[in-house]
């Protein structure tokens, strides 16, 4: 069982950079007057707010955690929105959170400083007749117990908090959830537990499979961000889960990792899901959850920036309020007529289109089309070459990659799920770590990229020339360790392959195998003369997803051979809009 496989290390107290004005343990109720400002950079409160600080909540196994509740002053019963994460509930004014806003180019004055990191702001929501609950989850800051990282335990614990909230005298009995990243992931797990008073969720970009999205994407132990998450969060007084040691001990799919995948078919609550094409941590998981949850009332919006600017954008907050007003306040506001899908198309040269309505993702007018790799011309063609040509590169040489291009002679739109079907061979090794990338080029062959955040400073250029992928979009990428190529017939579709990761199938000398690699969902527009480049490499083409974390280096030796044409017709499948 997963509980037997879990490993723990001691937690540590919250460091000064993660400490905010409201961090200190200070139980009690106080009133924050309209105009109150928690610290100089932050937005003053537009209304009077009651803060119930460090309220003890006992979970079903006897563990006590502490929550802060912000609610409008007055006797009217209100619904409540929960922000579930390990990021201390008092960190909104910390140097760490302020630094993140500065990094992406957001003014700290757009929030009140009372919000948890990546969470709804009480200043706005209380003014709209909602309460906000900010918990310190199990094992975090002053809460008891040992913390876990993205786990069904989160769902059980949050279930208990939701049901406790629904019984409070100020609560209308309806509870929602909102937030980005960890706060999005916790919503999958909580909704799967089906707490009776959970009325709606709003996952705003987040992984939905810890193994496939966070620690072993493509079967490679790329744990740089997991280490940052483990070491840079979950501060407390007891122990926290040691996911790095768990990856080393359990590199294949086990009960431990299955326990970190929510039961999608048990998620039936109304859901407003927000995704992007550009977050190499969240994108695959958000779209996966969108596809697999059982909710009959679900909406998807695919934006064109980065989660934090998008989450706090005034128009987007108002859009979310309409959703919550409908499901948490029973407001007959027409929300149900909102298109099921609103997607964006990236131009990468300033001409993005957003809010395009559709009934599904991909839209119904999209057809998957195979573009075959031609090893002789290095072109991508819609007919398979008859000649079998192999191309290769030494993994330690320059270049340690091969690429193929196609030029579009008319306006072309790609929207949906790309995948690569490749015939490959290893020389001088029994395995291959392969990285692939779909890249847009202008008519002159220059790669096109776009920042996803308002900050376009020299520092952001430096950070994103290689790495910090969530801040700058360079195309749709994928990866696979070839010994992990076994497909999961239950989860795979014709557009999105999925692997079991439950076995290791090494290569023998001269063995040619076919593999399928899922690339991140895409929404790209090509104008006349612009080109698409498909790259296959032994190196991490994009670098790390966040600044300052350890970069994974492919476990490669020898020579990689990519077979094309004839009996080994490798291809890139692209979702073309008719």
31 strand-pairing partners: 50
Alpha helix ranges (H) inside 445-566: 458-464
Asked if residue 320 lies in contact with residue 272, where contact means CB atoms within 8 angstroms, the answer is yes
**Domain 366-577 annotated CATH 1.10.1200.10:** no
Phi/psi of residue 61, nearest 5 degrees: -95, 10
Angstrom distances, CA of residue 320 to CA of 101, 271, 328, 361: 21, 11, 12, 20
Sign of CA dihedral 254, 259, 260, 261: positive
The model carries a pTM of 0.97
Q: Express each pLDDT in 325-360 by its tens digit.
A: 999 999 999 999 999 999 999 999 989 999 999 999
Q: Express each pLDDT in 448-472 by its tens digit.
A: 999 999 999 999 999 999 999 999 9
Cα 103–chain centre separation: 19
DSSP 8-state assignment for residue 45? P
Find, among 60, 81, 75, 68, the residue nearest to 27 by Cα.
68
SS3 437: strand
Find, among 182, 41, 162, the residue nearest to 118 by Cα.
182
2-201+222-264 and 366-577: identical CATH topology = no
Q: Please say if the pLDDT value at position 1 is more than 50.
A: no
Q: Express each pLDDT in 45-58 by its tens digit.
A: 999 999 999 999 99
> Domain coordinates of the chain in residue numbers?
2-201+222-264, 366-577
- Hey, which CATH number is domain 2-201+222-264, 3.60.150.10, 3.40.50.1820, 3.40.50.150, 3.30.365.10? 3.40.50.1820
Q: Express each pLDDT in 365-389 by its tens digit.
A: 999 999 999 999 999 999 999 999 9
Q: Express each pLDDT in 163-216 by its tens digit.
A: 999 999 999 999 999 999 999 999 999 999 999 999 999 999 999 999 999 999
Q: Express each pLDDT in 263-302 by its tens digit.
A: 999 999 999 999 999 999 999 999 999 999 999 999 999 9
User: How many angstroms separate the CA atoms of 120 and 302, rounded?
Assistant: 19
pLDDT cut 70: percent of the chain above it = 100
Rounded mean pLDDT of the chain? 97
Per the document, the length of the chain is: 578
Q: Express each pLDDT in 102-124 by its tens digit.
A: 999 999 999 999 999 999 999 99
pLDDT at position 2 is 60
Q: Please say if the pLDDT value at position 66 is more than 60.
A: yes
Asked if residue 283 lies in contact with residue 323, where contact means CB atoms within 8 angstroms, the answer is no
């Amino acid at each position: 069982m997963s509980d037997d496989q879990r490993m723990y290390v001691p937690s540590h107290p919250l460091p000064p950079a993660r400490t905010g004005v409201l961090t200190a343990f200070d139980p009690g109720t106080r009133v924050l007057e309209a105009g109150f400002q928690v610290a100089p950079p932050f937005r003053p409160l537009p209304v009077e707010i009651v803060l119930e600080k460090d309220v003890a909540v006992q979970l079903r196994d006897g563990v006590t955690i502490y929550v802060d509740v912000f609610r409008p002053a007055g006797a009217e019963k209100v619904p409540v929105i929960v922000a579930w994460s390990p990021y201390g509930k008092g960190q909104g004014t910390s140097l760490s959170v302020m630094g993140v806003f500065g990094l992406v180019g957001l003014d700290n004055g757009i929030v009140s400083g009372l919000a948890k990191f990546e969470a709804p702001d009480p200043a706005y929501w209380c003014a709209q007749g909602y309460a906000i609950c900010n918990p310190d989850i199990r094992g975090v800051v002053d809460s008891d117990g040992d913390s876990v990282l993205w786990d069904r335990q989160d769902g059980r614990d949050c279930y208990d908090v939701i049901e406790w909230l629904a019984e409070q005298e100020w609560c209308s009995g309806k509870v929602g959830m909102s937030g980005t990243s960890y706060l999005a992931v916790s919503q999958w797990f909580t909704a799967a537990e089906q707490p009776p008073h959970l009325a709606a969720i709003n996952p705003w970009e987040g992984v939905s499979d810890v193994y496939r999205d966070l620690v072993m994407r493509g079967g490679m132990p790329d744990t740089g961000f997991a280490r940052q998450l483990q070491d840079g969060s979950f501060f407390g007084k007891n122990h926290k889960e040691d996911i790095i040691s768990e990856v080393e001990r359990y590199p294949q799919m086990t009960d431990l990792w299955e326990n970190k995948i929510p039961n999608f078919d048990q998620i039936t609550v109304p859901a407003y899901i927000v995704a992007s094409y550009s977050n190499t941590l969240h994108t695959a998981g958000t779209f996966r959850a969108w596809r697999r949850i059982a909710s009959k009332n679900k909406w998807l919006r695919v934006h064109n920036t980065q989660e934090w600017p998008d989450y706090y954008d005034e128009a987007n907050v108002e859009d979310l309020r309409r959703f919550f007003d409908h499901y948490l306040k029973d407001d007959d506001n027409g929300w149900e007529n909102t298109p099921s899908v609103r997607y964006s198309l990236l131009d990468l040269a300033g001409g993005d289109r957003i809010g395009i309505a559709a009934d599904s993702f991909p839209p119904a007018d999209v057809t998957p089309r195979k573009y075959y790799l031609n090893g002789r011309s290095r072109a991508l063609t819609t007919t398979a070459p008859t000649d079998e040509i192999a191309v290769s590169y030494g993994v330690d040489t320059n270049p340690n990659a091969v690429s193929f291009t196609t030029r579009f002679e008319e306006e072309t739109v790609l929207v949906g799920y790309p995948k690569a079907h490749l015939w490959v061979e290893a020389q001088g090794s029994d395995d291959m770590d392969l990285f692939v990338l779909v890249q847009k080029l202008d008519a002159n062959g220059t790669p096109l990229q776009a920042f996803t955040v308002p900050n376009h400073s020299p520092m952001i250029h430096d950070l994103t020339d290689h790495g910090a992928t969530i801040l700058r979009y360079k195309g749709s990428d994928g990866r696979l360790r070839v010994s992990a190529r076994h497909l999961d017939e239950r989860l795979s579709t014709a557009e999105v392959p999925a692997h079991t990761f439950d076995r290791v199938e090494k290569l023998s000398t001269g063995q040619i195998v076919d593999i399928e690699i899922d690339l991140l969902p895409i929404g790209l527009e090509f104008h006349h003369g612009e080109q698409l480049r498909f790259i296959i490499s032994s190196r991490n083409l994009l670098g790390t997803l966040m600044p300052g974390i350890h970069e994974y280096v492919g476990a490669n030796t020898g020579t990689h051979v990519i077979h094309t044409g004839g009996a080994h017709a490798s291809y890139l499948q692209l979702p073309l809009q008719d």
